[in-house]
Structure 1
Amino acid sequence: MLEVLAILSAAAAGGLRLALPLLLIGLLQGEQLWSQVPLLRHCSPYWVVGVLAAWSFLEIFLSGNLWGYRFIILVQLCFSPLVGALLGMTVATATDTPQWLIATFSGLFAFVLQLVQVGWFYRLGKLPRWVIVGQDILCALLILFALRAPKQGGLIALLLLWLAVRSAKDWQQRHRYSRRRRLNS
């Protein structure tokens, strides 16, 4: 059960950001770097650090500009299932569950969280800077919890899933209400 919570925590981090959780999980592994991450273990660690650090800085600095944030959100939406799957498979080391099932589950979880972020972006316009910083902090905490305290990380991930479901339900109710108003007018 703890491993499922760790997978949820890692996948949730992949649903918030792309490069930061991969960068943290590699750096927290010590000298091995990305030897446990399925696709990244075949690449040079120097290239992986450079690309992930560069993308992390792009996520931070381009989020200040509206067009830059739209670009970041589009890339995150496309690649969040892959990053969620990689993170889930990295954290799931001692389970008998097939890797494809872990990858599918964690990739879908990351994709759902990313879809909710896109929905909030288009609902609110531009997210405030403090929300973006909060996402980065939460992403780092989720990776730390996935590796060190999976129970707490999994509970945070389940809370994020609950917020995602509540947001989707709220958007659906608002859409129905606005549609009824247009039909009655």
Structure 2
Amino acid sequence: MIIGILAILSASAAAGMRIALPLLIVGLLRSDLWSQVPLLSAIPPPVLIGILTSWSLFELFGSKKLLGQRILQIIQLIFSPLVGGLLAVTVVKIANLEMSPLWLIGVIGGLLALVLKLVQVGWFFRLRGLPIWVIFIEDIICILLVLFTFDAPQNGGLIALLLLWIAIRSSTAWRKWYQQSSQVSDTDN
């Protein structure tokens, strides 16, 4: 049960970083492609491979430029909860886990993906663009999280929990930064 929860967290955290890349990897790792993924199982696999491959390439290469980062931040912020929920439900189905209600698992996965994406968007706007080395690390972690979901769920779940801890720490740092900047502006007035 705990290993299943860690696998769900790992997949959802990957969706909080990229949206098409985790779905593409999950589909290509399975022999039945996306038949276990809700909503995507209705789309023909050749069409889905084309769409996910194109979007994954844009995520990988477009994120290296500031304009690409801005476009991706908006689109990923909208779709990361959906993809996080889809991946959480998919992990439950693929691993044959006895968890219910399934919609609650999807909501939790979507919320984790949304929290991680919100933190990334916050850092993006605070730093006025993410450094290239951060983007490369994010790409690597995203791929590792998807691979760990099925091969080493303990490791993937622990990485997801570590990312959640970093997100919580970031929010407290932003709060302190905001309070300091508001105090400075009050003294200027």
TM-score (ref. length: structure 1): 0.96
Alignment partners' CA distance in 2, 1:134 and 1:75: 20
- The question of 1:21 aligning with 2:58 is answered no
Letter in 1 for 2:167: A
**CA offset digits 1:105-124 (Å, max 9, x no partner):** 00010000000010110111
Please report the RMSD computed on the Cα atoms of aligned residues, expressed in angstroms: 1.0
**CA offset digits 1:53-92 (Å, max 9, x no partner):** 0001111222233222111110000000000001000001
Alignment partners' CA distance in 2, 1:149 and 1:121: 30
Name 1:63's counterpart in structure 2. Answer: 63
Alignment partners' CA distance in 1, 2:136 and 2:27: 21
Name 2:33's counterpart in structure 1. Answer: 33
Q: Is the 8 A contact 1:3 1:95 kept in 2?
A: no
- The question of 1:104 aligning with 2:107 is answered yes
Name 1:86's counterpart in structure 2. Answer: 86
Letter in 2 for 1:68: G
Q: Is the 8 A contact 2:4 2:153 kept in 1?
A: yes
Residue segments in structure 1 that go unaligned for 5+ positions in a row = none
Q: Is the 8 A contact 2:64 2:135 kept in 1?
A: no
- In the alignment of these two chains, the number of paired residues is 184
Name 1:73's counterpart in structure 2. Answer: 73
Alignment partners' CA distance in 2, 1:184 and 1:17: 42
Name 1:183's counterpart in structure 2. Answer: 186
Q: Is the 8 A contact 2:84 2:110 kept in 1?
A: yes
What is the percentage of aligned positions where both structures have the same residue? 52
Alignment partners' CA distance in 1, 2:60 and 2:91: 25
Q: Post-superposition shift, 1:165?
A: 0.3
- The question of 1:157 aligning with 2:155 is answered no
**CA offset digits 1:18-52 (Å, max 9, x no partner):** 0000000001112x001111111111110111000
Letter in 1 for 2:83: V
Residue segments in structure 2 that go unaligned for 5+ positions in a row = none
